[in-house]
Chain A
Amino acid sequence: MGSGREARDWFKISRFLHTFYKGKIEVLPKVPVRGMDDFSIWYTPGVAEASRAIHREPDLSFELTSRWNTIAVVSDGTRVLGLGNVGPEAAYPVMEGKALLFKYLGGVDAVPIVHRKRDLEEFLDLLKALEPSFGGINLEDIESPKCFTLLDRARSELGIPVWHDDQQGTAAATLAGLINAFKLVGKDLKKSRIVLFGAGAANIALYRVLKTYGVPPANMVVLDSKGVLHPDRDDIDKLMISNPHKYKIAVETMGGGLGPSSGLEEALKGADAIVAASRPGPGVIKKEWIASMEQDAIVFAEANPVPEIWPWEAREAGARIVATGRSDFPNQVNNSLIFPSVFRGVLDVRARTITDEMLIAAAEELARYAEEKGLREDYIIPRMEEWEVYPRVAAATAYKAVEQGVARATITYKEELEQARTVIELARRKLEELWKAGLIEEPPEG
C-alpha cells in the first residue's frame, strides 16, 4: 500500500490551501442589508427590543438570536488526532475543519474555541461561562482520563447539550457498524463475546454504550496497553485513583472471565468481534490471533492512519467482516456520519442534553439506513456522500430527545426529517452558490 506517500501528498496540498485561504471558515451575515437604515433594525436602537425580551425570558435567546443553531467546538489541544499534546493554537486547524463539517453536513454553525484552561475545574468553568452564547458544545481532542470527568460533569452541570466526539461520536458510529455486522453474520450482538482493544476515549465510551444497548458486561473484555482490565490486576488500585473509568470496567466485566495477566492473544480466542481503537498498525493485531476467533469473526480496526491489521490480512485469517477508520477501504467507521446529524437534531428540539439512549437511537438509524440500501460484507455502514443519512439521523435523535423529555420543543420524526433536510440542503447550496459565483476564489495550480 502506498498510504505513506498518499498521506504526504495530502499534507502538501493541505498546507498550500490553508495558506491560500487563510483558514476555512468565516462569519457571514444572513439578514439583508438594503441600506444603512437596516442597521437601526439589526443594531441600535432596534436591537434593544430583542435584548429586553431576552432579559425578561432568557430562553428567547434561542428564538431571537443565532444561538438556536450555533455550537462551540472546544479544545485545549491536549490530545489532537494523531498528533498528541500539540497545544491550543495547533489544535485550531482541526477545530476549524470540524466547524466546516458541522456546517456542510449538518447545517450547524460551529465556532472553534481553543484555550489554555487545561485544569479540569477551570475548563469546566470556561464551558459554563460560554453557555449563554451557544445551543450546544462539542468537546474535541482532550486528553484522557480528564475528558471523561469533564464530559460527565459538563453534561450534568450545563443546560445545553455537551458532546465529546472522540467518545460519543466514535462509539455511535461503531455501534451502527456492529449492529449491521452482527445482522450479516446471523449472530445476536447482545449474546456475543466482544473484545475492546484499547481503553481510550472511544472504547471506554463504546463499553458504556454497549452496556446501555444490552450487552452484558461479562460478555465484554476490555484491554489497555498493559492487558485485560481485570479486578485482580496488580495496578488495579492505582487505576481506581488515576482512571476510575477503567477501574469500573475491570470490576464490571471481571476481565471477561480471563486471568488477570491475559493479553490480546488470550482475549481473542473464541471471541465473536473485536473493536480495536489502540495504536497505528500494521502488525498490532496478528493474523494468527484473528484465526483463533469464532467463525464469521468481525474485526473493526479503527486506528489511523494505519489500522491495527490490514483488512486483507484480517480476511485471510478468517474474518468475515472488516471495518476501519479509513475512507479508502470499505466499511469506514466515520464520526462524520453522526455528529453533524446529532447536533442538527438536538438543536432543532432545543434539547438540554444528549443521553446515551439518543446516541443509540442515532446509531440504530444509521444502521437501518444501510440495511434498507442492502447490507453486504463491504457495506455495513453508509458512506459520507449518502446525503439522506444526515436528516434521518437528526430526526431519530430529535425524536428520542422528545420521547425522553429532554427537549424544550416538541417535534415529530417526520417534521424533523423535513426540517433537517431543508436546513442541511440550504447550507450546502449556499456554499455551492458562493463557489459557482467565484466568491470562493479558485486556488491557483500548486
Chain B
Amino acid sequence: MYEAGIVIRRPIEKDIDSLASLILRFYRFNEEFDPAWALCMEADKAARRVAEEYVKGSQGLTLVASYEEKLVGYVRAVMRENPMLASKMGIITELYVVPSHRRTGVASMLVEHASRELSGMGASYIAAEFPTANYVAERFYKQRRFRPFLSVYLQEV
C-alpha cells in the first residue's frame, strides 16, 4: 500500500542536511551486518559532503521521498557499463526509509521511480548492492523479484 502524500523527486539545496542524516543512517544500518562497512571517525561530516554531491546530481541518480516537506527516504543509483557486455545496468547502491514510514510502500516507490529513470538512461537491468548479511535488504529485493546475480568475495589484507 503506497502512502498517500509521498512525493518522489530529485534533492535540492535545502535538502542537504536532511539527506546527509539519511545517508548516515543508511551506512550505520549496514555497519551492523559486516565489519568491512565500519564507518570512519568523521562519517557525519563525510555524509554531508556526499549529500552535497548528490544534490549537484553528478555521476548518478539520487531521488528523495518527502512527506509534508520532510525527507523520509532516499535512493541512490549509478549506471554501470562494461564494453564487453551487450546491456547497460543501473545499480541501486543506497536505499533508506525512516522507521516511521516503513511498511507503507515508500521504499518500493523509490525503487520504481529509480528503475524508470535508469531505464530512460539506457539501462536494461536494475541491480541492488548491499552487504550479504543484510537480510532485510535481501528480503525486500527478493519480494520484488530481484534475483541473485553477482557474488563479491572479500578478504582482509
Contacts and interface: CB of A to CB of B under 8 A. Distances in A.
Interface of A: 231-232, 234, 236-238, 240-242, 247, 250-251, 254
Contact of B100 (A231, A238, A242): A231
Contacts of B136: 240-241
B98 interface: yes
A256 to B, nearest CB: 13
Interface in B19-73: 25, 28-29, 32-33
B116 interface: no
B80 interface: no
B148 interface: no
Interface string B59-103: 000000000000000000000000000000000000000111010
Interface size class of B (residues with CB under 8 A): 10 to 19
Contacts of A232: 98-100
A250 B32 contact: no
A232 B32 CA distance: 17
Q: Is the interface of B mostly helix, strand, loop or mixed?
A: helix
Contacts of B102: 251
Contacts of A237: 25, 28-29, 32, 99
Nearest to B21: A232
Given A236-B99, A237-B29, A237-B99, 7 more contacts: A234-B28, A237-B25, A238-B29, A240-B99, A240-B136, A247-B99, A251-B102
Q: Most chain-A CB neighbours within 10 Å: which of B25, B99, B102, B136?
A: B99
Given A237-B25, A240-B136, A231 B98 contact: yes
Contact of B99 (A241, A242, A250): A250
Contacts of B25: 237
Contacts of B33: 241
A251 B98 CA distance: 10
B32 A254 contact: no
A238 B32 contact: yes
13 contacts: A231-B98, A231-B99, A232-B99, A232-B100, A237-B25, A237-B28, A238-B29, A240-B29, A240-B136, A241-B32, A241-B33, A250-B99, A251-B102
Nearest to A239: B99
Nearest to B134: A241
B32 A251 contact: no
A312 B16 CA distance: 52
A250 B28 CA distance: 18
A250 B99 CA distance: 9
Nearest to B99: A231
Contacts of A254: 100
A247 B32 CA distance: 15
Nearest to A247: B99
